[in-house]
Amino acid sequence: MAASEDSPAIDLAPRVAEELRLAPAAVRAVIQLLSGGATVPFIARYRKEQTQGLDEVAIRAIEEKREQLGALEERRSAVLGSIEAQGKLSPELRAAIERCRTRAELEDLYLPYRPKRKTRAGTARERGLAPLAERILAQPPSGNPASEATRYVDAKREVPDVAAALAGARDIVAEIVAERSDTRALVRSRFEREGLVESVAVKSKVKAQVAAKQPTKFEAYYDYSERAKTIPSHRWLAIVRGETEGVLRAKVRVDDDALARELSSRVGVRRSSPFAGELEEAVHDSMKRLLLPSIEGDVRDDLKSRSDVAAVGVFAENLGKLLLAAPLGRRVVLGIDPGQRTGCKCVVVDDTGKLQTHTLINLVTGDSAREHAKRTILDLVKKHAPFAIAVGNGTHGRETEDFCRQVLRDAALGDSVVVVLVSESGASVYSASDVAREELPDVDLTVRGAVSIARRLQDPLAELVKIDPKAIGVGQYQHDVDQTLLARKLDEVIESCVNAVGVELNTASALLLAHVAGIGASLAKKIVAHRQKKGAFRSRKELLEVSGLGPKAFEQAAGFVRVRDAKNPLDGSAVHPERYGLVERIAKDAGVAPGALVGNDALLAKIPWASYASADVGLPTLEDIRRELAKPGRDPRSAFEPPKFRDDVRAIEDVKPGMLLDGIVTNVTAFGAFVDLGVKQDGLVHVSELADRFVKDPHEVAHVGDRVKVKVLAVDLARKRISLSRRSVQ
């Protein structure tokens, strides 16, 4: 039973450890740290000795499982309290409730005691038919149902005849059968073993689409069936979306006849009893009217929940890869948001992402406009010396990229400035956001979009955290899944990525700082305000001068922020301030100043690290310190490499079957990977075409940002679909 105010809290650690198959001591340590306000990134990086080296994935799994089990215990307590208040809590029922391991088991036991709205069985009980129902359930060896039913005929009670009396009694029996935990478990097991998802087209909807010659994305599900226990998340979510849009009708079914026989046997139909027919009819009614709809609803909820978790996992995986994409770094960038009717918005941002200038060029209104555009690009390049030109990959993106390359070649600048197509997904969302208005108050939306494109080339992580992840375009049915679950998981991904890379304290935006462990949105704004008022931070310790930032927040955050060129070089590393004393002791033993250890591989190799191990600082932490001293503040992201597309492939019409093309993976779903070929429409490599071997999960062989070579299998211009393969071409 869950804890009350007067009883101690239940120790969930053993159960969490059992279900996740983790060491109990490590799980208990994680739970204690989380309960004490520690963040997942902090625990994973700086408390390895206590957690036996559990990574963020395991720690988050412990956090989620603890919450699930805690919610189950709260519900168990509420159920016990409700039944006890009714005076119906027997020792046997209490024991059964306390043995429940799942919410479904618990709710099935509670069902007969849950307060009900008016039902047919309830009405029959009010009419005095419960004794007749008991006779049907008892299956006596003798008697006559019709004769016994005459005793209950009463016009005043709205029981006009024998048939009505027997029907009312069967309604009571049907409800009793439907509320028995064992019969519900039987039906659940049937659905689990053999439940079949079936979907069919809504004929009126399909006729309308055929008449309008509009292809539909649900054609594969017009007459479809698959086992419920094995259906992939993307297929179930597609069927659900088809239902929502009125194109499909779907159900999960089992063999009704076989189930009816099992239920009749379970509730005790005795063929020799004169009441056998009444009970059998009640069982059939219970199954059709009550049990199947109820359990099918639960099964559909479970399928949706399972599919949501899988789809959110795909989104999280892709978002993580995108956020950790290789950054260009602190270099000047010329950003261009392509446009035809309204022209191309050009901006220059300095090496910190600050807007320097902006202008407009037009490439489609005649030769004089193109000549003006050429001069404008060259003037910007000569005046600001950008390292790269970042061109948004939307409509007219390839043409704009080609134009910039040609301008640079004609001016003999082709080797000095890199031209890169950059995903502009979400740039328009950023442009209209409060964040953009605050950062760039004096320019319009179009300029803000170009700035976002330029900045995301410099540092994808720092820029993309400003955008709602659902607008970035790397998800799978993200608008159909549980939005609370999605928001939580994406927040976790962003938190993990931000803290894995580290944040420069003196240049980071409030939005980026908000994802640093222990800080949050409110403190992040205070840090930026303090920085603007007092000037740049000179050390990590100065964080404690920020209003509202106390020792606990400092403990959690300090290791993840960097202070470039600080007096203490450790302030620019991932070494936590709580270990500065240890580093000073190691340096003293080595006969050098602490700063002399930084970047000195030869000296670091001579240090007997194991001799510094203690009760709270073990070899894992010492190894982390050694690595950080060797390369302080190292960025875990890979080095930037510009993508390369074929010059003769600019639009989907240029893509032909049989072509071998280079591309970049933009999204990975449960059914395959989408690849940018340099045209507006991404191509799809189905999971069956991802490798020369069987691939169960596309993430085994494909990740967002991967550079791949693909073969074009087919091009569907009507649906704007490109089918690709990686088989035998890698």
- Tell me the CATH number at 285: 1.10.3500.10
Q: Which of 406, 432, 458 is the last residue of a domain?
A: 458
Residue 271 lies in a domain: yes
Distances (CA, A) of 667 to 51, 650, 680, 691, 706: 34, 20, 14, 17, 10
129 lies in the same domain as 252: yes
The tens digit of pLDDT for each residue in 574-631 reads 999 999 999 999 999 999 999 899 989 999 999 999 999 998 899 999 999 999 999 9
pLDDT above 70: residue 5: no
224 lies in the same domain as 279: yes
Query: Per the structure block, which two tokens stand in for 592?
Result: 């050098």
The tens digit of pLDDT for each residue in 42-88 reads 999 999 999 999 999 999 999 999 999 999 999 999 999 999 999 99
Mean pLDDT of the chain: 91
* Pairwise CA distance, residues 560 & 41, whole Å: 9
The pLDDT assigned to 348 comes to 97
* Pairwise CA distance, residues 348 & 379, whole Å: 12
The residue whose two tokens read 């950003």 is: 335
130 lies in the same domain as 228: yes
CA atoms within 13 A on the CB side of 422: 36
pLDDT above 50: residue 557: yes
Instruction: For the beta carbon of residue 233, count every other beta carbon within 10 angstroms.
Output: 24
For residue 27, count CB atoms less than 10 angstroms from its CB and return exposed for 0-12, middle for 13-18, buried for 19 or more. Answer: buried
Please check whether residue 349 is in contact with residue 386, taking contact to mean a CB–CB distance below 8 angstroms.
Answer: no
285 lies in the same domain as 150: yes
pLDDT above 50: residue 6: no
278 lies in the same domain as 168: yes
The tens digit of pLDDT for each residue in 490-503 reads 999 999 999 999 99
For residue 487, count CB atoms less than 10 angstroms from its CB and return exposed for 0-12, middle for 13-18, buried for 19 or more. Answer: middle
Residue 341 lies in a domain: yes
Residue 468: band (very low, low, confident or very high) from pLDDT cuts 50, 70, 90: confident
Query: Per the structure block, which two tokens stand in for 647?
Result: 């010059």
The pLDDT assigned to 414 comes to 72
103 lies in the same domain as 33: yes
227 lies in the same domain as 93: no
Average pLDDT over residues 708-712: 92
- Tell me the CATH number at 77: 1.10.10.650
* Pairwise CA distance, residues 517 & 505, whole Å: 13
- Tell me the CATH number at 701: 2.40.50.140
Please check whether residue 355 is in contact with residue 349, taking contact to mean a CB–CB distance below 8 angstroms.
Answer: yes
pLDDT above 70: residue 725: yes
Please check whether residue 581 is in contact with residue 568, taking contact to mean a CB–CB distance below 8 angstroms.
Answer: no
Sheet architecture: strand order including 248-253 = 223-227, 196-201, 248-253
Q: How many domains does the chain have?
A: 4
Tell me which residue range forms the domain holding 703. 652-725
94 lies in the same domain as 132: no
Q: Strand pairing partners for 662?
A: 709
Q: Strand pairing partners for 714?
A: 723
The pLDDT assigned to 524 comes to 96
Q: Strand pairing partners for 708?
A: 663
163 lies in the same domain as 306: yes
Average pLDDT over residues 639-668: 84
Which one, of 243, 128, 267, 240, lies nearest residue 184 by Cα? Answer: 267
Distances (CA, A) of 632 to 235, 597, 624: 46, 10, 11
Residue 369: band (very low, low, confident or very high) from pLDDT cuts 50, 70, 90: very high
Residue 223 lies in a domain: yes
* Pairwise CA distance, residues 111 & 182, whole Å: 12
- Tell me the CATH number at 401: 3.30.420.140
Please check whether residue 170 is in contact with residue 285, taking contact to mean a CB–CB distance below 8 angstroms.
Answer: yes
More confident residue, 561 or 676: 561
Q: What does the DSSP assignment read for 275-303?
A: THHHHHHHHHHIIIIIIHHHHHHHHHHHH
Q: Which of 458, 473, 497 is the last residue of a domain?
A: 458
Q: Which of 57, 82, 113 is the last residue of a domain?
A: 113
β-bridge pairing 683-686 and 721-725: parallel
Residue 574 lies in a domain: no
Residue 554 lies in a domain: no
91 lies in the same domain as 129: no
Distances (CA, A) of 310 to 207, 229, 240: 34, 14, 15
Residue 180 lies in a domain: yes
Residue 173 lies in a domain: yes
Residue 521 lies in a domain: no
Residues contacting residue 69 through CB under 8 Å, at least 6 positions apart? 12, 15, 16
8-state DSSP, 343: -
292 lies in the same domain as 425: no
169 lies in the same domain as 302: yes
